[in-house]
Structure 1
Amino acid sequence: MIQNRPGRYLLDDAGLTELRSFVDAGTLLAFDLDGTLAPIVADPSAIVIPGHIQESMARLCAMATVVILTGRGREDALSFLGFEPCMVVGNHGAEGLPGWEEREREFRELCAGWKQQLHLSLAGTSSGIFLEDKRLSLSLHYRNAAGRGEAFATIIEAIGALVPAPERISGKFVENVVPRGAPRKGRALLDTLRYLGTGRALYVGDDATDEDVFRLRNERIFGVRVGASSSTAADYYLKDQQEIDRVLREIIDILSHPSCDAA
């Protein structure tokens, strides 16, 4: 779905009308995890999807095709869900896509080498930098650093020295190291649409990594950004993460009362 920028608020009358005209039982429902289904917390291992969100997602999984598209590793993400989506695609799109199994092995080897290099280059640097090994990508978190600016500069220098050079994907107080050629979220969502044979998708995400989907400007994708941003390419936005509850309830209502004029 293509709108004029900036994105419009989803939960006003006009936005809800567009949502109802787009979503039906054949629409792929895709969601990011951290900052979307679960509030962001200082410790990535401590996220919790609220019980009422888990319940709504479980209902949606029984009504439609639901996919989780997350920066986390697949196994890590699965441990937090509490519901069973059709697919979980991890590592920003690099893990869990059918047909990419051989390349995934290459990506693991690259990341293992980068991890060793980063341990050496970051030894003795400022505290508050946390290296998260997600097997097919690495994440350098600095949310808890006393001096975030200094920590960010240290991380950028360390990533810039990696051999071979990776792709760098920025997030909220995190820099992600990803193998070149690995699919990102936009490619992953399009591949998932083809693989599952669905014609269109609603995608909800909250940060810079999700803009890879929004920038597709694809009329078959209804993009929703969690948190207003003047630079987003998403069609619509939510004011904050808490509004995801309303979105899920609206989608459940749409699917419970199908309309013959859904577009």
Structure 2
Amino acid sequence: MHYKKQARYPTKTPPRYMKNIFRHWDRLKEELSNRYIMLFLDYDGTLTPIVSSPRIALISREAKELLNELSNSPKCKLAIISGRALKDIINIIGLKGIIYSGNHGLEIKGPKIKFATPVSARYKAILKHLKNNLKKKLSFIKGAFVEDKGLSLSLHYRLVDKKNIPQVKTIFHETVILYLVRNKIKIKTGKMVLEVRPPSEWDKGKVVLWLLTRQRFALKGKNVFPIYIGDDKTDEDAFKALEKKGLTIFVGEPKVSYAKYYLKDTGEVFEFLQKVLVLLNARNIC
């Protein structure tokens, strides 16, 4: 039994093929020259390559030092927007003075910010029930594992043999369908992961707009320019939200997306971030 899939891009504005950002950097750096930059970064697949298990996807020391330099610039605000649990992403990055958003925006913590999407006791009970059921039903399929992220569940199947993946998806759908059709939960799909989330409209797109508005208010209307970099389906919400408002960058091979630009891999992400840092430092000298 399967639920009815939503349209991938349920908006009027059509997605587009993206451009290589380095080919347009000379023009873009002029546009950024006098603006306060708010830098939104996904974690998995953006700051660290996608690996077999999220437990071993750790950011390098050099990358962390670069993020620290960016966060210390008076012309930049850094926010990590991750699908991981908030506590997890804070422990991994470990930088003070920046904004962290976990669970695709369901949780936020930073300077003078602390927020968690309110959920009912009923939802918590449903989540616990689904976790136990999924673990039991998937126990015989090697490589499948369920991650409890507090406000959500993630079913990872990257390590599952390809021939067993359809069975994993079927088990997931059959387990959640009753709660899904009654609007007790929502589901999200990502790179080799299926997620159970609260029945809330809050997503990465809404969280970046909320944080952007908050930052503009804190800076008394100063021209705050958002840059968002991400690699997964959930980042499309942010790309769409920031369309015509800022710089949206997909990580991976170019495809149809709401992102305007792309970087091929995490190596190019850090090459781009170095360029942003050089630009910020040049402005600080002036």
TM-score range, shorter chain: 0.7 to 0.9
Partner of residue 28, structure 1:
38
Residue identity opposite 2:261 in structure 1:
Y
Residue 233 (structure 1) aligned with residue 233 (structure 2): no
Residue identity opposite 2:119 in structure 1:
E
Partner Cα separation in structure 2 for residue 25 and residue 82 of structure 1: 27
Root mean square deviation of aligned Cα: 2.6
Q: State the Cα distance separating 1:217 from its structure 2 match.
A: 5.0
Residue identity opposite 1:8 in structure 2:
K
Q: Compared with structure 1, are the counterparts of its residues 39 and 124 closer, same or farther at alpha carbon in structure 2 (3 Å cutoff)? A: same
> How many percent identity over aligned positions?
27
Partner of residue 8, structure 2:
none
Q: Which has the higher contact order (CA 8 A, sep 6+)?
A: 1
Q: 1:23–1:202: 8 Å Cα contact kept in structure 2?
A: no
Structure number having the greater strand percentage: 2
Matches within 5 A, 1:199-238: 199-216=224-241, 218-238=243-263
Q: State the Cα distance separating 1:211 from its structure 2 match.
A: 0.5
Q: State the Cα distance separating 1:244 from its structure 2 match.
A: 1.2
Partner of residue 10, structure 1:
21
Quick one: which of 80, 87, 100 aligns to 1:88?
A: 100
Can you give the 5+ residue segments of structure 2 that lack an aligned partner in the other structure? 1-12
Q: 1:66–1:86: 8 Å Cα contact kept in structure 2?
A: yes
1:90-142 alpha-carbon deviations (Å, 9 max, x no partner): 110111178985x6341676244223234225524323221111111111111
Partner of residue 123, structure 2:
110
Partner Cα separation in structure 2 for residue 23 and residue 31 of structure 1: 20
Q: State the Cα distance separating 1:24 from its structure 2 match.
A: 5.1
Can you give the 5+ residue segments of structure 1 that lack an aligned partner in the other structure? none
Matches within 5 A, 1:57-136: 57-63=67-73, 64-96=76-108, 101=115, 104-106=117-119, 110-125=123-138, 126-136=141-151
Quick one: which of 156, 160, 164 aligns to 2:177?
A: 160
Q: Compared with structure 1, are the counterparts of its residues 55 and 254 closer, same or farther at alpha carbon in structure 2 (3 Å cutoff)? A: same
Q: Compared with structure 1, are the counterparts of its residues 245 and 99 closer, same or farther at alpha carbon in structure 2 (3 Å cutoff)? A: closer
Residue identity opposite 2:266 in structure 1:
Q
**What TM-score does the superposition give when structure 2 sets the normalisation length?**
0.81
Residue 138 (structure 1) aligned with residue 149 (structure 2): no
Q: State the Cα distance separating 1:4 from its structure 2 match.
A: 8.0
Q: 1:112–1:135: 8 Å Cα contact kept in structure 2?
A: no
1:10-42 alpha-carbon deviations (Å, 9 max, x no partner): 122x24532452365511011001111112221
Larger Rg over CA atoms = 2
